[in-house]
Amino acid sequence: MESELHSIGELARASGLGVGTLRYYDGAEVLTPAWVDPQTGYRWYRPDQLADARLLARLRRVGLPLTGIRAVLAGHEADRVLDAHLRRLEDGLTDARRELSLIRTMIEQREHPMTTTPADLRLTVRADGLAAALDAVRFAVCDDPELPSLAGVLFEPDGPVLRLVATDRYRMALAELPAIGAPQQPAPGTPVPTALVDALRALLPDGPADVTLILGGGTFRAETGGHRIEGTAPDLDYPDHRAATRLDPRHRVTLPAADLRAAIETGTTRTLPSGPHGADCQVTVLTLTEDGHLTVTDDPTPDELHIAVNRDFLLDALHAAHPAQLLLELGGPIAPLAIRTPGRTGTYSVLMPIRLPQSP
């Protein structure tokens, strides 16, 4: 039999994978040998496994995670797995370029410190757009006094848009609106405290009007219609929202918002200790049936794609969006749930999943 097989050393030389790497992928049940000598434990591989080993080497080279490698070698939705990984790489490159630009700016400022306070960043936005953006993210602001960096909304200029971000670690909400005056180069965001956010929302007029926002120097100021509010923007590090919103959904479901809201309000729930600080909360389990319909159930079958989320958080997200139609993106039981409004690419919510206890 050995004369018809490749030794592990031969396969390693022909594929570019190390012997130790081949042993690792055998243990991970990704590339298992055709025969293992029961006396010596030496591994032997079929000639047709050389192609899989060479493919595996290239998948490793581009950084594909183990689950993705296993899916590609098994022939399970290879195109989807590779496309999703390419998007992650592109997003990571975009993030790296943005961070490197900021790093260069920080190095320049450190080597050539300014003797005067830098000019404030002035943005002009529409009052109705700002009001809608604040309404879309306010529900996700953290109210935990032990997490002061999350007690507010991040105002982040990004080229032609102003992005607002709020999170309490269990959910995140983002909204974008056009902005005039934002720098073409990435600019650091400004965390605006909750009280100042609420004062800004109360200041905004109902009709069409422009709002001037001034960010920088540890302050936040807004002016519109002859009125102004101003307050301190603390120098706190806000978490990187890009990592939490780099999603890889397996399914996208469009449905009327009213239908989903009714199903959640009338559907069954579970009580689990999954709320803030481990408090009990009502959990809604969304299940995608084989025919593509989204239902609410507390007892999904093993073959059904499902995700469990905090029921109140889910209803808050639906109420904040005010859509007629919803686009839900599901990745699986342990992947975040994205709630989008068709046509509003940069405005959406993300809910963290809750693990359901295993059935006895």
Please state the CATH superfamily assignment of the domain spanning residues 247-351 in this structure.
Answer: DNA Polymerase III, subunit A, domain 2 (3.10.150.10)
> Quick one: pLDDT at residue 100?
73
Mean pLDDT confidence for 88-92: 78
Give the pLDDT band (50/70/90) at residue 185. Answer: low
Q: Output b/e per residue, 256-276; b: 16+ Cβ within 10 A.
A: ebeebeebbeebebbebebbe
Summarize the confidence of residues 67-88 as an average pLDDT. Answer: 86
pLDDT, averaged across the chain = 84
CATH number, span 2-76: 1.10.1660.10
**pLDDT digit string (tens) for 58-72?**
998 888 888 888 888
**Range 158-162 contact pairs with CB under 8 angstroms and sequence separation of 24 or more:** 158/182, 158/186, 158/187, 159/184, 161/346, 162/123, 162/125, 162/133, 162/213
Every domain of the chain and the residues it spans: 2-76, 118-232, 247-351
- The pLDDT tens digits of the residues spanning 101-118 come to 667 656 765 665 544 334
Q: Out of 90-94, 153-157, 220-224, 232-236, which region has the weakest mean confidence (pLDDT)?
A: 90-94
Which CATH superfamily includes the segment(s) 118-232? DNA Polymerase III, subunit A, domain 2 (3.10.150.10)
Strands, sheet with 6-7, edge to edge from the N-terminal-most edge strand = 6-7, 43-45, 35-36
Query: Is it the case that residue 155 has pLDDT exceeding 90?
Result: yes
Closest among 138, 176, 180 to 160, alpha carbons compared:
180
Q: Minimum mean pLDDT among 10-19, 197-206, 213-222, 351-360: which range?
A: 351-360
Structure tokens at 56: 């595996």
Work out the end-to-end distance of the chain between its first and last CA atoms, rounded to an integer number of angstroms: 45
Which pLDDT tens digit goes with each residue over 284-338?
999 888 777 888 987 777 767 888 999 999 999 988 867 788 888 888 788 889 9
Same fold yes or no, 118-232 and 247-351 = yes
Does the predicted model carry a pTM greater than 0.75?
no
In single-letter form, the type of residue at position 229 comes to I
pLDDT at 77: 83
Which helix (H) or strand (E) segment holds residue 330: the answer is strand 325-330
